[in-house]
Structure formats: C-alpha cells, structure tokens
C-alpha cells in the first residue's frame, strides 16, 4: 500500500477575518494523482496556497514525506505549482522558460541542456524549443508551464485548474497527458478542478470539499457509488436522492439492509433505472416530463404515477422518447444506496 506522502491535519485558514478553511484533514498517497474537487469558492486555491507556503494565517499541520513544513519558506518546500493562467515569460523562448528554474538553482549548462531537452520531449514540444510563448496554442503553453514545474523534480506538484482556460477537446487530451507524465515520472500530484468528469477520469483519489470542509475522500468509484452525505449525493453524478418513505411509495419493500425509514436518505443513480423488466425489480409506471440529449445518452425527467420526479439516463438508441410518453421503469432494490449521513451541516 502506498504511504501518505502529504498529510493535512486540522487545517484552518482565516483570510481578512473570514474563516475560509475549517478544520480540514486529508491525505495524498505517494506517486498518485489526487484531485481536489469542489464548487467555486469552496477553498481549493486557498488550501493549495497553504501547502505551497504562500498563505500566512494557517493553523494545523502540513506534513510532507513525514516532515512538518509549516515552518519552511515556500522555496524550502520543493513544491511545484502550475496555475490556470500559464504565467510564462513572454520574452523568453520555450527552452529558456523551461530552463529558468534550473538556472536559478545554478545548474551547469550541460545539465540544463540535458534536462530541458528531455522534458521538452516528454511534453512533445521539442520542435517548439526556440519559439516564444505567443507563438503557441493555449494547450501548448500549458504544457510548457507543466514542463517548467516538472523539470525541477518537485517532491509534490500542485496544479490549480490547469485546464480550465482550454477548449473541451484539448482539455480531455491534456488531462490524459498529465496523468501519463505523473505515472511515467512517478510524481505525486494534487490537481484542483471543479469538473467532476475530469476528476473521475484521471484520479487515484478524489478529495471533495465544500465551504471549507472535506466532504469525502476516496477512489473515483467509491465517491460515485457510495456518497456519504446529501451534498455528495447531489454534487456527484446528478443522482436521485429519495427518503426511505418515498422509496416505499415507489413500491420498494424494506429489507434487513434497508429499513427505508422516512428519516433515511437513499441514492438511486439515473443510469440504474431500466426500461427493461428485470428479475426482482420493482416496476415504476409514469411518464416523461423533459428530455435532454447528451449525445451517447439521453437524460429524462420522469414523473412516477406516485407523483415522484426521477432523473433517468438511457443509452441513445436513436429513438428518444418524447415528452408525455408513458413508460415503466424498473429498479433493482439491491442497487439503492443508503447515504452515510442524512444532512450536511
């Protein structure tokens, strides 16, 4: 099992008299890519800045490789940071941008030549070594920014929404490349995003935060299938959140695992409601009230005859149902998930 390389314990941060981070604890395992996922304003950048040593009023512990780093300056921490805005030096070539940190460290010309050449090759920009930043596309510029951080071999690389300024197609290809660099070079990365799909696609672990608190930490699979509270159930994957009583109204019977009490909250994932009858499944008759084309799938708003709205997602088989079409959905009671805690404070 990989050890916890970065340990954040009881972190609290106050900015201008405002407690922005509230007693947060989470871990990042060595040589993994952990994403830090949360809505805008939840405190992601603030935590990253604290880890990098750029925030002042910070309480709690930050341990990197077993060592407390709070007393160290930003320079002493050997932590790299990549920002949303590439922040390249406009008057330097791509080679010189990547070489900059090594020159500050007074590395020899031969070492710089070798390291920068290898890094430009890793990020696929060898042909652009003599170009200037304004001659590059957004995706290429961000690859330079990542190369500039990685060439210093940081103990930890922090990336703050590095893809959000790029268009959708480049974003998907660059996120896969970042994952590849991370695995190939064995770097521990903490990657901030507010895009769930991005987090699901590239992470070993996801830390979800909201309003300065960690809501849940786990693998993408665990985060998606076993949300621990209502915030998680609603934030991840557009799930249906129902009380036990509402499930009983739909015809689901209580079991030894699921008491279906009115105070309990359950998640029913939209893709697990099926139009096909299944053994043991509960039949839910109703009608379609809204249709959204997603491309490979179609998302429906469905209103059951028991007057409960449900979100449903079905594969696009070329004949989407229309608004007001009646249909019966089938729910396998074994697929419902009891939410860990009923309410987010």
- 75 near ligand ATP, judged by CB under 6 A: no
Largest CA distance in the chain: 75
- 196 near ligand ATP, judged by CB under 6 A: no
Contact yes or no for 309/246 (Cβ under 8 A): no
41 binds, among Mg ion, ligand ATP, none (CB under 5 to 8 A by kind): ligand ATP
Contact yes or no for 81/149 (Cβ under 8 A): yes
Angle between helices 138-150 and 94-104 (to 10 degrees): 20
> Rounded to whole angstroms, what are the CA distances from 194 to 187, 200, 209?
22, 11, 10
18 binds, among Mg ion, ligand ATP, none (CB under 5 to 8 A by kind): ligand ATP
250 binds, among Mg ion, ligand ATP, none (CB under 5 to 8 A by kind): none
- 20 near ligand ATP, judged by CB under 6 A: yes
Q: How far is the CB of 65 from ligand ATP (least distance, A)?
A: 25
Q: How many residues bind ligand ATP (CB under 6 A)?
A: 13
- Contact region with ligand ATP (CB under 6 A), list: 38-46, 124-132, 253-261, 305-313: 38-46
Q: How far is the CB of 149 from ligand ATP (least distance, A)?
A: 19
Q: How far is the CB of 59 from ligand ATP (least distance, A)?
A: 16
Determine the straight-line distance between the first and last CA of the chain, rounded to whole angstroms: 33
Q: Rule CB under 6 A: choose which of 6, 24, 28, 42 binds ligand ATP.
A: 42
Query: Strand (E) positions, the chain?
Result: 4-15, 18-29, 33-37, 58-64, 67-68, 79-82, 156-160, 188-193, 205-210, 213-218, 240-243, 265-268, 282-293, 297-304, 309-315, 326-331, 337-338
Q: How far is the CB of 58 from Mg ion (least distance, A)?
A: 17
Hey, which residues does 229 pair with through a beta bridge?
341
Which CB, 162 or 244, lies closer to ligand ATP? Answer: 162
Q: How far is the CB of 208 from ligand ATP (least distance, A)?
A: 12
- 41 near ligand ATP, judged by CB under 6 A: yes
Q: Rule CB under 6 A: choose which of 12, 15, 63, 282 binds ligand ATP.
A: 15
194 binds, among ligand ATP, Mg ion, none (CB under 5 to 8 A by kind): ligand ATP
- Rounded CA-CA distance 304/309 in Å is 6
Contact yes or no for 181/151 (Cβ under 8 A): no
- Rounded CA-CA distance 240/236 in Å is 11
Q: What residues from 166 to 195 belong to the interface with ligand ATP (CB under 6 A)?
A: 194
- 44 near ligand ATP, judged by CB under 6 A: yes
Q: Rule CB under 6 A: choose which of 24, 38, 62, 268 binds ligand ATP.
A: 38
Contact yes or no for 122/185 (Cβ under 8 A): yes
CA angle at 198 for the pair 193 and 204, rounded to the nearest 5°: 90
Which CB, 48 or 329, lies closer to Mg ion? Answer: 48
Q: Rule CB under 6 A: choose which of 40, 73, 75, 256 binds ligand ATP.
A: 40
Q: Rule CB under 6 A: choose which of 8, 11, 35, 45 binds ligand ATP.
A: 45
**Interface residues with ligand ATP (CB under 6 A)?**
15-16, 18, 20, 38, 40-46, 194
């Amino acid at each position: 099992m990989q050890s916890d390389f970065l340990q954040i314990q009881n972190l609290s941060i106050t900015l201008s008299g405002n407690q922005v981070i509230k007693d947060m604890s989470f871990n990042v395992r060595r040589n993994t890519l952990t994403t830090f996922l949360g809505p805008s304003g939840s405190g992601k950048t603030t935590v990253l800045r604290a880890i990098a040593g750029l925030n002042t009023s910070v309480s709690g512990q930050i341990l990197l490789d077993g060592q407390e780093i709070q007393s160290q300056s930003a320079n002493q921490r050997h932590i790299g940071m990549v920002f949303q805005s590439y922040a390249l030096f406009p008057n330097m070539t791509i080679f010189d941008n990547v070489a900059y940190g090594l020159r500050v460290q007074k590395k020899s010309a031969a070492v710089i030549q070798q390291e920068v050449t290898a890094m430009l090759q890793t990020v696929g920009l060898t042909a652009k070594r003599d170009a200037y930043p304004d001659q590059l596309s957004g995706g290429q510029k961000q690859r330079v920014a990542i190369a500039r951080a990685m060439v210093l071999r940081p103990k930890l690389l922090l990336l703050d929404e590095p893809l959000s300024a790029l268009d959708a197609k480049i974003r998907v290809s660059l996120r896969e490349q970042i994952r590849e660099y991370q695995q190939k070079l064995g770097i521990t990365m903490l990657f901030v995003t507010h895009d769930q799909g991005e987090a699901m696609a590239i992470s070993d672990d996801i830390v979800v935060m909201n309003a300065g608190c960690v809501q849940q930490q786990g693998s993408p699979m665990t985060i998606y299938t076993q949300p621990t509270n209502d915030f998680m159930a609603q934030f991840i994957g557009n799930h249906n959140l129902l009380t036990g009583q509402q499930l009983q109204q739909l015809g689901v019977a209580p079991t030894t695992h699921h008491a279906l009490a009115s105070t309990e909250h359950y998640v029913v994932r939209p893709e697990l409601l099926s139009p096909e009858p299944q053994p043991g499944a509960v039949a839910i008759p109703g009608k379609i009230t809204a249709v959204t084309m997603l491309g490979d799938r179609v998302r429906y708003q469905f209103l059951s005859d028991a007057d409960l709205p449900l979100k449903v997602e079905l594969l696009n088989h070329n004949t989407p149902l229309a608004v007001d079409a009646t249909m019966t959905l089938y729910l396998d009671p074994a697929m419902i998930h009891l939410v860990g805690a009923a309410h987010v404070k």
